Structure 1
Amino acid sequence: MDNSYLLIFALLLGCLASTMPVFMALFFTGTVGLVYLVGIDPQIVVEVLYRSMDKFALVVVMFFVLCGNIMTTGSIVEKLIKTANVLVGHLPGGLAMAGVLACGFFGAISGSTVATVVAIGGFMIPALIDNKYDEKFSVGLMTTAPILGVIIPPSIAMILYAMVSNDQLEALFLTGFIPGLFIILAMSAYSYFVCKKMGMTKRERPSSKETLSVLKESIWALFLPILIFGGIYSGLFTANEAAVVACFYAFFVEIAIHRDMKVSHIKKVIVSSAVTSATLLVIVAGASVFGEYLTFEQIPGKIATVVVENISSPWVFLLSVNILLLFIGMFMDIISATLILTPIFLPLLSKFGIDTMHFGLLMTINLGIGYCTPPLGVSLYITGATVDRNIIYVSKAVMPFLFIQIAILLVLTFWPDIVLLLPRLIYGYGG
């Protein structure tokens, strides 16, 4: 291996180990590589930064961030949880199932795991404990179920993957529905059997009148994901336009119908969303500079050659990548990892005959699981702060649920047809 590659790798690890912000570590390492090792004009770095920001696909990310903030400020989240509870809350473990279902509902609007942990986990964990659910079970469930935020569309990670891979975004979104449903069903089934074994009694089933009353109260909140996906897949508007429509709809519902948000709150929500979006954008910018260095040095192609020489089976390759991504997901946020790793892996996919959309879904799930994988998954620390528990306690709590998610990941890895079923049915995708 070239000594310059080792130098760049050591520099990147050193920056990250020094607790330097990820975007600065990527930018600094990429700049050193481009200017001092490759020898290009520093002005090129400025052009790379500009090009990375000048992408229309990033608009959809910013508006979905805004939509998620509107929901958490108003009462849409609360109404989604009430709906989930009225549907399955009467079963043994019903409130736990409602929490999983609520993560699915919220994920279908926000596109973010962290937002789902904060919005749903912060509400559901105290509710589960108050209703006599085991604390460790409650913490484990509501730390891991928010992975649905990046799997069920719209997913911010999928948007960025499509931006790099040039896959059709609407078709890529479709790959997340069946895996998301699998995770909901598997975690709900586990909750049912665990709570039944613990002797938790059924709650009284709500009457038809009570169910209809909750559905009527929540109809505006439930219509939001229908509006997003109905608009996209009917051709009424694109994914970018859907994000804007969702924001205006959420503002209208919260201010004019639910009346849980005042006009004076709008500025605060927009500013908060702008700060979050800016955080994402600077990560994109830093990753783009590092990615430019990789491109100049043709590192993805060289890695592809080495891998192909040593691995002949696509299944062995996918299994190896799963292990690598699970490890990386513990240390790096999903935005940075997607932007850095996608250009490296893309040249390998064609050599092994692996579909790019199938791989995009696997990458998203792997990095999503990394968010709640001990010892450094960010979701572990968010939940730990919520319940005032240390990282060891939370790490033990998530293990059964991580095994479930990894089992589903392996099924999806070696059964690509199930991932690509909906893109093929709706778009005739040839894969």
Structure 2
Amino acid sequence: MEVTLLFVSFFTLLFIGVPIAITLGISSLLYLVTSGIPLTIVPQKMYSGLDSFVLLCVPGFILAGNLMNSGNITDQIIRLSNAMVGHIRGGLGLANVAGSMLFGGVSGTAVADTASIGSVMIPGMKKNGYDGPFAAAVTAASSTIGPIIPPSLPMIIVGTLTGLSVGQLFLAGAVPGLLLGFGMMITVYILAIKRNYPKGERVSFKELLSAFKSSSGAISLTFLILFGIVGGFFTPTEASIVASFYAVVLGLYVYKGLKFKDLPKILLSTAITSASLMVLVGLANVFGWILTSEKIPQMISNLILGISENPIIVLLIINLLLLFVGTFMETIAALIILFPTLLGVAVGVGVDPIHFGIIAVLNLMIGLSTPPVGVCLFVASSISGISMEKVSKAIIPFIICNLIVLMLVTYIPELSLWLPKFFF
């Protein structure tokens, strides 16, 4: 009875549009009250879910992303992307994807990528003769690259949940992230040829070099974070502080788009975002504890393994489950609730845990741009002024492309593992 109430209240609140953190809190509270469990368990489990040194890097990376967003970084990245691929048929679409690949290494979040890149590229693409739905679709789809290419907030959560090395997870995401980006570039080019989208003028080598120089400071942030962690110079938490300091210096003294008067507003925005994320993590941990106490993870594990113990079939089932969950549930909550259980199933059939971490994050990222309720779709639709129905139809080729990459990453483990093995 209590478990039924838990799930009915959860899906009802989710369906009517209640934020995921509040949904998790209310459904958990209803379960605890009807079960007669003392409510003191709520702060206890919330605190235990937040009591992690690795989680301290989340506010740091959010702050670094906000500082870079305010320091003209987006314009510099788009300028470089245009200089590299703008002369090819469908060049602005290609530049959109390239910009997401470069910007993803700075922000680490898909929604920030959609908002920052989309606010510049979607109007620009429409003005230059591209279909509005196509412009919105390519922006939403390419934003999923951000949390795959390091740094990545979802991978930090994975490391926190399981004790896996965040550095290894960051490295493991590099090749799949590049595959995702190049796959979408191929999709853009095919559609551009078919629809005869425009192409720009080829820039001179001098202009290309200038664009690279102007954006090199921002791009180098990714390498600073990655090789600082891999080289053992600092932990992920320390890396987030270094990244924030680096972003302040770049914004104030290099790009000069950041002013001292902007800092209080940026810090407040970072605090609000971090607090909301931490509340989500804490309440998701309460919900996860309830599921564990009711042995739901064991039921899911037995159900999957009851169908098959073949790793190929098991991974296919897990992919389908995570893709479905990713279309309606926030990524962090989905990871906290499902990842430990599914990791146990995957490791039980011989899947490397680092490899599975990449599979899980990639699935949930694809869900962010998958109809009907992908968050990045809503953001792109809002920026473009195009209806969700039209954007959802336009994004189908990119979803197909992303699913092909997902299958490659799932069934060719070395795509994820060769970099961590090389460095570690």
Question: Is the TM value for this pair above 0.5?
Answer: yes
User: 2:22 corresponds to which letter in structure 1?
Assistant: M
Does the 8 A contact of 1:30 with 1:292 survive in 2?
A: no
Q: What residue in structure 1 maps to residue 12 of structure 2?
A: 14
**TM-score, L = length of structure 2:** 0.95
- CA displacement at 1:364 relative to structure 2: 0.8
Give the deviation of 1:42 after TM superposition. 2.5
Pick one of 31, 34, 55 that aligns with 1:33: 31
Q: Does 1:245 align with 2:242?
A: yes
- CA RMSD in angstroms, aligned pairs only: 1.7
Match of 2:297 among 297, 300, 308: 300
Tell me, yes or no, if the aligned pair for 2:91 and 2:198 is still in contact at 8 Å. Answer: no
What is the CA deviation profile of residues 27-49 of structure 1, one whole-angstrom value per residue up to 9, with x for unaligned ones? 23234434543x54332322112
Deviations 1:232-255 (A, max 9, x none): 222222221111111111111111
Does the alignment pair 1:116 with 2:113?
A: yes
Superposition deviation, residue 148 in structure 1: 0.7
Letter of the structure 1 residue corresponding to residue 26 of structure 2:
F
Whether the 8 Å CA contact 2:172–2:358 is kept in 1: the answer is yes
1:380 alignment partner, one of 373, 377, 381: 377
Runs of 4+ in 1 over 6 A off after TM superposition: none
Deviation of 1:289 (Å)? 0.6
2:104 maps to 1:107: yes
- What SS does the aligned partner of 1:360 have? helix
Mapped contact 2:147–2:153 kept (Cα < 8 A)? yes
Moved more, 63-72 or 211-220: 211-220
Distance in 1, matches of 2:9 and 2:135, equals: 40
Q: Distance in 1 between matches of 2:413 and 2:360?
A: 13
Aligned to 2:3: 5
What is the alpha-carbon distance in structure 2 between the residues aligned to residue 424 and residue 281 of structure 1? 32
| 5+ long unaligned stretches in structure 1 | none
| Equivalent AA in structure 1 for residue 292 of structure 2 | T
Q: How big is each residue's C-alpha offset from its partner over 1:156-208, in whole Å with a ceiling of 9 and x where there is no partner?
A: 11111111121111001111111111111111122223323434465332212
Q: Counterpart amino acid of 1:27? A: G
Q: Kindly report which structure 2 residues correspond to 1:155-194, keeping only aligned pairs within 5 A, or say none.
A: 155-194=152-191
Distance in 1 (alpha carbons) for counterparts of 2:301 and 2:360 = 17
- 2-structure distance, mates of 1:168, 1:205: 43
Letter of the structure 2 residue corresponding to residue 221 of structure 1:
A
Structure 1 position 63 matched with structure 2 position 60? yes
**For residues 343 and 305 of structure 1, what CA distance do their matches in structure 2 show?**
14
- Counterpart secondary structure, 1:151: coil
Match of 1:203 in 2: 200
CA distances 1:45-98 after superposition (whole Å, capped 9, x unpaired): 221122222222221111111111112212011111111111222222222211
Residue-pair matches, total: 424
- The answer (yes or no) to whether the contact 2:128–2:198 under 8 Å persists in 1 is no
1:326 and 1:86 mapped to 2: Cα distance? 35
Give the Å deviation of 1:410: 1.2
**105-114 vs 20-29, which deviates more?**
20-29
Taking the TM superposition and a 5 Å limit, the aligned residue runs for 1:25-424 are 25-34=23-32, 36-37=34-35, 39-200=36-197, 202-424=199-421
Moved more, 376-385 or 189-198: 189-198
The gaps in structure 2 that reach 5 residues or longer are none
The SS at the match of 1:331 is coil
Give 3-state SS (helix, strand or coil) of 1:376's partner.
Answer: coil
Over residues 340-374 of structure 1, what are the superposed CA-to-partner deviations in whole Å (9 max), with x where a residue is unaligned?
11132133123222222222111111111111111
Equivalent position amino acid for 2:218 in 1:
A
Distance of aligned partners of 1:389 and 1:198 in 2 relative to their CA distance in 1, 3 Å threshold: closer
Mapped to 2, the partners of 1:416 and 1:221 lie a distance apart of 31
Q: Hey, what's the Cα distance between the residues in 1 that align with 2:401 and 2:109?
A: 21
Q: Which moved more, 1:203-212 or 1:56-65?
A: 203-212
Preserved contact between residue 30 and residue 291 of structure 1 (Cα < 8 Å): no
Q: Distance in 2 between matches of 1:192 and 1:346?
A: 37
The 1:308/1:199 distance shift into structure 2, 3 A limit, reads: closer
User: Does the 8 A contact of 1:60 with 1:240 survive in 2?
Assistant: yes
**Offset of residue 313 of structure 1:** 1.7
Q: Percent identity?
A: 37
